[in-house]
Structure 1
Amino acid sequence: MARPRKCRRVCGMPRTNSFAPMGSQLCEERIIMAVDEYETIRLIDLAGYTQEECAAQMGIARTTVQGIYNDARRKLADALVNGKMLFIEGGDIDICERENAGCGRKCGQLCRKEMKDEKNKRNLGDEFDE
Structure 2
Amino acid sequence: MARPKKWRKVCCLPASSQFGPFDVETEQDHFVTMNIEEYETIRLIDLEGLTQEDCAKQMDIARTTVQGIYNDARKKLAESLVLGKRLRIEGGNYKLCESDGKPCRGCGCRKRRALMMDSSDT
**Do Structure 1 and Structure 2 share a fold, with TM-score over 0.5?**
yes
Q: How does 1:24-35 map to 2 (within 5 A)?
A: 26=24, 28=27, 29-35=30-36
Match of 1:49, SS?
A: coil
Distance 1:113-1:70 versus aligned 2 partners, 3 A rule:
closer
User: What residue is the counterpart of 1:72 in the other structure?
Assistant: 73
Match of 2:38, SS?
A: helix
Distance 1:38-1:120 versus aligned 2 partners, 3 A rule:
closer
2:10 counterpart of 1:10: yes
Taking only aligned residues, the RMSD between alpha carbons, in angstroms, comes to: 2.2
How big is the shift at 1:20? 2.3
Match of 1:86, SS?
A: strand
After TM superposition, the structure 1 stretch with the greater mean CA deviation from structure 2, 110-119 or 83-92, is: 110-119
What amino acid is the match of 1:118? M
Q: Does the CA contact (< 8 Å) of 2:15 and 2:116 recur in 1?
A: no
User: What residue is the counterpart of 1:97 in the other structure?
Assistant: 98
Distance 1:16-1:112 versus aligned 2 partners, 3 A rule:
same
TM-score when normalising by structure 2: 0.84
TM-score when normalising by structure 1: 0.80
Runs of 4+ in 1 over 6 A off after TM superposition: none
How big is the shift at 1:96? 1.8
2:111 counterpart of 1:112: yes
Supply the distance in 1 between the matched residues of 2:76 and 2:89 (Cα, whole angstroms): 11
Distance 1:38-1:4 versus aligned 2 partners, 3 A rule:
same
Structure of greater relative contact order (alpha carbons < 8 Å, 6+ residues apart) = 2
Supply the distance in 2 between the matched residues of 1:120 and 1:35 (Cα, whole angstroms): 21
- Give the share of equivalent positions with the same residue, in percent: 53
- From the two aligned structures, give the one with the greater helix fraction: 1
Higher gyration radius (CA): 1
Supply the distance in 1 between the matched residues of 2:90 and 2:84 (Cα, whole angstroms): 19
What amino acid is the match of 2:111? R
After TM superposition, the structure 1 stretch with the greater mean CA deviation from structure 2, 110-119 or 5-14, is: 110-119
Q: How many residues align?
A: 118
Structure 1 unaligned runs (5+)? 125-130
Distance 1:121-1:41 versus aligned 2 partners, 3 A rule:
closer
